[in-house]
Every structure is written in C-alpha cells, then in structure tokens.
Amino acid sequence: MITLHGGPTPNARKIGIALIEMELEWQLVDVDILAGDQLTPEFLALNPNNKTPVIEDSDGPNGRPFVLWETGAILLYLAEKTGRFLPKDAEARALCWQWLMFQVSGVGPMFGQFAHFVFYAKDKHPYAIDRYTRERERLMGVLDQQLGKTEWVSGDDYTIADMAMLPYLAGSMKGEPGRYPHLQRWGAAMLARPAVAAGMKVGTARKETIEGGLDGFTDEHRSILWGDRQHAKR
C-alpha cells in the first residue's frame, strides 16, 4: 500500500495520475496546506522541507516501509518499482529524464511564481508579474515546439514526463485556445486517458480556497505559505 500525503495541488495530482496509471494500491491522506498541516511535527517527520506531496510505501525496496518526497524522485521511484512508463531504450530513457527535469526545475517553479505574483501576492509588482508571465509563455512555447515533433513529451512513448507536466498546464491551455496547438492536442489526449482524468481529481473532496478563485484567501494563509509561520524556527 502506498499512502499519498497531499491535497488539490498540481504536484499531488501528478503523483495521483502515476499511482492510478500504474495500478498500484494507494490511499490519500489529506494535507490542508492552508491550515498549516504541513508545519506540524507529524508531517515534518515525513518531510523536513514541509512540502507536499510525500509518499509512504509499506513495501519499500528493501522489504520495509519507505518514505519519499520530491515529485521527480517519487515518479522515478514508482516507474522503477513497477517497470512502467519509463523507456527501456537508453536514449529514450535519458530523454524522459530530461523532460521530467524540465518540469521539476522549470515549469513547476516558474508557473508557481507566476501564480504567486499574479494571484496570491497581496501587493502587485509589475516587474515580477511581467517576468514570470513571459517565462511561463516561453516554457509553453518550448513544449509546443517539442510536441510538434513528437506524440508525447519525451518521444513516441507515454511516460512519467507526461504525467508530471499536465497538472501545471491544464489550466493554462484552457485560457489560451489556439495559441499552442500542439500542446493543446497533447492535453486533450492526456485528459482522454481515464487514469489522468481521475488523477486530476485528487483532493477535490475538499473545497479549496485557491481553486475557488481565492475567495476567502487571507493574510493568515499568506503567513502559513510564505510568511512568518512558514519561516518560524522549529
């Protein structure tokens, strides 16, 4: 049994997609990051970096329970555990790693900064908004160009690189129809997969202030996520 600690976030959803695609037995433990669940001693014992998601595998690689965080590491671990969605060919495998790293080091952080300064920051800073808006658009252009040459993100095979990418891109593709045709073709193919559609629903049992358009988002939430409570000594 694999326990996924997370909520309605892109990072938790990419792991949800992988768990469902790989037909693993799993359960979700809800972590409400707006309430500060990630700052509790119990969660910090799992991940001292206080970020979701985290997985606990009751049947780890040495036959004992195993805890892992960082989504790139989790996706690689699950792919190797099941022998699925990671190409066997050395070149194709390296390209899958390349695009997975592109997501975890580029798309995830840059889209996150875009969302922070455009939606969540209390004070609006034009320089930051312009900086991350343009970088987000540039990264989408890189992916659109790639998907004009390949069926899936890293090549001919559907892999963990695709699973990592979609949760960050789904909303952006809806808002800009026709601008990135290859990206939109890929996104439609992704969402047509039952496991992807199900994985994108991870955490929806809870009403989420962020997904609900920031209605009710407060300075206390900002303190928990980025301010004094986030940076308090523990």
Query: H or E element: which one contains 119?
Result: none
CA distance 58 to 62: 10
Q: Is the dihedral of CA 194, 199, 204, 206 positive or negative?
A: positive
In the chain, DSSP assigns E strands to: 2-6, 26-30, 54-57, 66-69
Contact 42, 35 (CB under 8 A): no
Show me where the domains of the chain are located: 2-84+208-231, 90-197
CA distance 121 to 191: 31
Q: Could you tell me the mean pLDDT of each successive run of 10 residues in the chain, 234 residues long?
A: 96 97 97 94 97 97 95 98 97 98 97 92 95 96 97 98 96 75 95 97 73 75 93 86
pTM: 0.94
pLDDT score of 173 = 73
Residue 216's pLDDT is: 79
* Topology annotation, domain 2-84+208-231: Glutaredoxin (3.40.30)
**DSSP code per residue over 12-52:** HHHHHHHHHHTT--EEEEE--TTTTGGGSHHHHHH-TT--S
CATH number of 90-197: 1.20.1050.10
pLDDT at position 171: 81
Spell out the residues 6+ positions from residue 82 whose beta carbon is closer than 8 angstroms to its own: 22, 23, 24
